[in-house]
């Protein structure tokens, strides 16, 4: 007989759980036969005792199998199924360019994206700023767009890894989110359900990252690579820089606009370009669409220069209900905020450090992120034209532009972003954009 308390007891006492223990517990989470208190107790036992690699693989697979699994074999696609997942950040608009760029090089990208969480923006919210875009197409339309366009970016439906939703909700209120084993299983359960051949993880490090320290970011990346490969998906991870916003903008419409301009070659923030290229390159190499980094970068650059990646983005938007002329007339379709004004530094010096989380919270407070899951977003608001770390500024240099709905929210955001930027007398050391690439054995 299955007794959840016996499984909790084993984990509490540091005994390794069997595949059957894990499968039974996860089935109980899914069919509600396990109580919230028991989920909380197991989560806390795992938080303290961790999981062996083998247990972690079994947990990720059991959570994958708690709902619908996508299959692509029957479509006979002439390329690998590849995707990227980021632990999230501020101005992390990479997915919007990466999907079309990789599709232009022969990959098929069924990207299931999330809403913004806390200070971090969400790909789904950015695309929802496009009028008419339907992030919840029926599964057949999703498959059709992936097959015909090469990429479809949509939202997570409730039938994908449902055990994760209940498990995460319990972790969220019991101080057990911060377990490397549980984060790994949670992220991978959803990615494994999407039926990928190749996954590239972008694990951020720095003041805007989900993980609190570089060491923890590396630990998470290493664990995801091992468990992902153990579960049958060729997984690689990059540790990337998040000590300042990645793009030149943060906010939903404004980031989508930046993505389109990037794809069309109108403007390419060099830091954003480097991270995007590095992630895309690993996807091409993992999917055997490029022989090495140089080959991958040449192919990706050609996809940008020829306009093919931009064209694919436009086709994806149209296929999912957005305007047919979005690529050409994005400014007509993305409503601006009523107030767009700069905020100035009070001091002369070098931009020495940024509280990137604080900057993300300023976007949230402007109405661009949610405090409650039920909050409606104002897609128009956000921040743009950020100063960069190391930049030499004076009192009349704008720190950034604030896009606000009204005067009160402008003033609040101005106070927040000024508090989030430290001005020093000496320039800080230059940081790399990619700290490390972690590959499977």
Residue 363 and residue 77: Cα distance in Å, rounded? 40
Helix axes of 162-172 and 19-30: crossing angle, nearest 10 degrees: 80
DSSP state letter for 402:
E
- Strand (E) or helix (H) holding 188: helix 180-193
- Strand (E) or helix (H) holding 252: helix 252-264
CB closer to ligand URA, 239 vs 399? 239
Rg (CA), the chain: 22
Q: Residue 153's closest CA among 119, 120, 194? A: 194
Minimum separation from the CB atom of position 168 to ligand URA (A): 6
Residue 29 backbone zone (phi > 0: left; psi -120 to 50: alpha; other: beta): alpha
CA distances from 268 to 156, 273, 309 (A): 29, 6, 14
CB closer to ligand URA, 114 vs 428? 114
CB closer to ligand URA, 80 vs 122? 122
Q: How is residue 342 written in tokens?
A: 């700069």
- Cβ-closest residue to ligand URA? 186
Residue 117 and residue 371: Cα distance in Å, rounded? 9
CB closer to ligand URA, 373 vs 426? 373
Contacts with ligand URA by CB under 6 A lie at 168, 177, 182-183, 186-187
Minimum separation from the CB atom of position 423 to ligand URA (A): 33
Cβ atoms 250, 382 nearer than 8 A? yes
Residue 34 backbone zone (phi > 0: left; psi -120 to 50: alpha; other: beta): beta
CB closer to ligand URA, 30 vs 186? 186
Minimum separation from the CB atom of position 91 to ligand URA (A): 19
Cβ atoms 52, 38 nearer than 8 A? no
Distance of CA 94 to the CA centre of its chain: 8
CB closer to ligand URA, 181 vs 272? 181
Residue 67 and residue 58: Cα distance in Å, rounded? 15
Residue 257 and residue 250: Cα distance in Å, rounded? 11
Minimum separation from the CB atom of position 88 to ligand URA (A): 8
Minimum separation from the CB atom of position 59 to ligand URA (A): 12
Residue 142 and residue 154: Cα distance in Å, rounded? 8
Minimum separation from the CB atom of position 64 to ligand URA (A): 13
CB closer to ligand URA, 186 vs 240? 186
Minimum separation from the CB atom of position 223 to ligand URA (A): 12
Residue 65 and residue 70: Cα distance in Å, rounded? 11
Active-site amino acid positions: 83-86, 123, 171, 186, 190-191
């Amino acid at each position: 007989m299955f007794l959840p308390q016996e499984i909790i007891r084993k984990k509490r006492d540091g005994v390794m759980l069997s595949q059957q223990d894990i499968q039974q517990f996860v089935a109980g989470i899914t069919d509600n036969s396990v109580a919230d208190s028991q989920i909380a107790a197991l989560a806390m036992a795992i938080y303290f005792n961790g999981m062996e690699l083998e247990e972690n693989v079994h947990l990720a697979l059991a959570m994958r199998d708690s709902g619908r699994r996508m299959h692509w074999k029957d479509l006979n696609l002439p390329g690998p199924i590849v995707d990227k997942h980021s632990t999230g950040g501020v101005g992390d608009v990479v997915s919007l360019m990466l999907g079309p760029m990789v599709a232009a090089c022969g990959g098929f990208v069924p990207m299931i994206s999330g809403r913004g969480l806390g200070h971090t923006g969400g790909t789904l919210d950015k695309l929802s700023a496009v009028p008419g875009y339907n992030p919840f197409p029926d599964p057949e339309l999703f498959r059709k767009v992936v097959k015909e366009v090469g990429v479809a970016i949509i939202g997570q439906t409730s039938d994908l890894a449902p055990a994760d939703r209940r498990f995460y909700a319990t972790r969220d209120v019991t101080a057990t989110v911060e377990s490397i084993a549980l984060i790994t299983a949670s992220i991978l359960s959803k990615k494994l359900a999407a039926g990928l051949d190749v996954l590239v993880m972008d694990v951020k490090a720095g003041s805007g990252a989900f993980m609190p320290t570089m060491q923890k970011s590396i630990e998470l990346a290493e664990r995801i690579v091992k468990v992902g490969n153990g579960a049958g998906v060729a997984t690689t991870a990059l540790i990337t820089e998040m000590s300042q916003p990645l793009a030149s903008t943060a906010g939903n419409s404004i980031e989508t606009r930046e993505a389109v301009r990037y794809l069309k070659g109108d403007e390419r923030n060099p830091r954003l370009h480097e991270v995007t290229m590095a992630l895309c390159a690993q996807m091409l190499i993992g999917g055997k669409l490029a022989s090495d980094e140089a080959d991958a970068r040449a192919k990706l650059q050609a996809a940008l220069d020829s306009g093919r990646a931009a064209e694919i983005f436009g086709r994806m938007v149209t296929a999912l209900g957005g305007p047919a002329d979005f690529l050409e007339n994005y400014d007509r379709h993305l409503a601006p905020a009523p107030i767009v004004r700069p905020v100035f530094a009070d001091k002369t010096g070098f931009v020495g450090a940024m509280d990137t989380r604080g900057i993300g919270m300023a976007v949230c407070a402007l109405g661009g992120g949610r405090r409650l899951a039920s909050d409606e977003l104002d897609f128009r608001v956000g921040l743009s034209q950020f100063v960069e770390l190391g930049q030499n500024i004076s009192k009349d240099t704008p720190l950034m532009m604030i896009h606000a709905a009204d005067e009160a929210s402008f003033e609040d955001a101005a106070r927040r972003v000024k508090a989030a930027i430290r001005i020093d007398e000496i320039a800080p050391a230059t940081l790399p954009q990619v700290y490390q690439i972690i590959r499977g054995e």
